[in-house]
A = this chain, B = another copy of it.
Amino acid sequence: MQKIVQCVPNFSEGRDLEKIEKIVNPFRGKEGVKLLDYKRDEDHNRLVVTVIGEPEAVKNAVLESMGVAVEVIDMTKHEGQHPRMGAVDVVPFIPIKNVSMTEAVELAKELAKEASEKYNLPIFLYEKAATTPARENLAKIRKGEFEGMAEKIKQPEWKPDFGPNEIHPTAGVTAVGARMPLVAFNVNLDTNNLDIANKIARAVRHISGGLRYCKAIGIELEDRGIVQVSMNMTDYTKTPLYRVFELIKIEAKRYGVNVVGSEVIGLVPMEALIKTAEYYLGIEEFSMDQILEKRMME
Chain A interface residues toward B at CB < 8 A: 4, 6, 34, 36, 52, 96, 181, 188, 241-242, 245, 259-264, 266-270, 273-274, 276-278, 280-286, 290-297
Contacts and interface: CB of A to CB of B under 8 A. Distances in A.
Top 3 closest pairs, chain A to chain B, by CB:
A273-B277, A276-B277, A280-B280
A297 B290 contact: no
B276 A262 contact: no
A222 B246 CA distance: 34
Contact of A282 (B261, B273, B282): B261
Contacts of A261: 282-284
Most chain B CB within 10 A, of A188, A245, A270, is at A270
14 contacts: A6-B292, A36-B295, A52-B292, A242-B277, A245-B281, A260-B282, A261-B283, A263-B283, A264-B283, A269-B292, A270-B291, A277-B277, A280-B280, A297-B297
Contacts of A266: 290
A280 B286 contact: no
A286 B264 CA distance: 7
B282 A280 contact: no
A296 B96 CA distance: 10
Contacts of A285: 263
A283 B295 contact: no
Contacts of A294: 270, 293
A264 B36 CA distance: 31
A241 B283 CA distance: 11
Nearest to A267: B292
Given A260-B282, A284-B261, A293 B293 contact: yes
A217 to B, nearest CB: 19
Nearest to A281: B262
B34 A281 contact: no
B297 A282 contact: no
A281 B290 contact: no
A259 B293 CA distance: 29
A293 B281 contact: no
Contacts of A242: 277, 280-281
A267 B293 CA distance: 9
Nearest to A259: B282
- Among A241, A280, A292, A295, max chain B CB count under 10 A is at A292
B284 A262 contact: yes
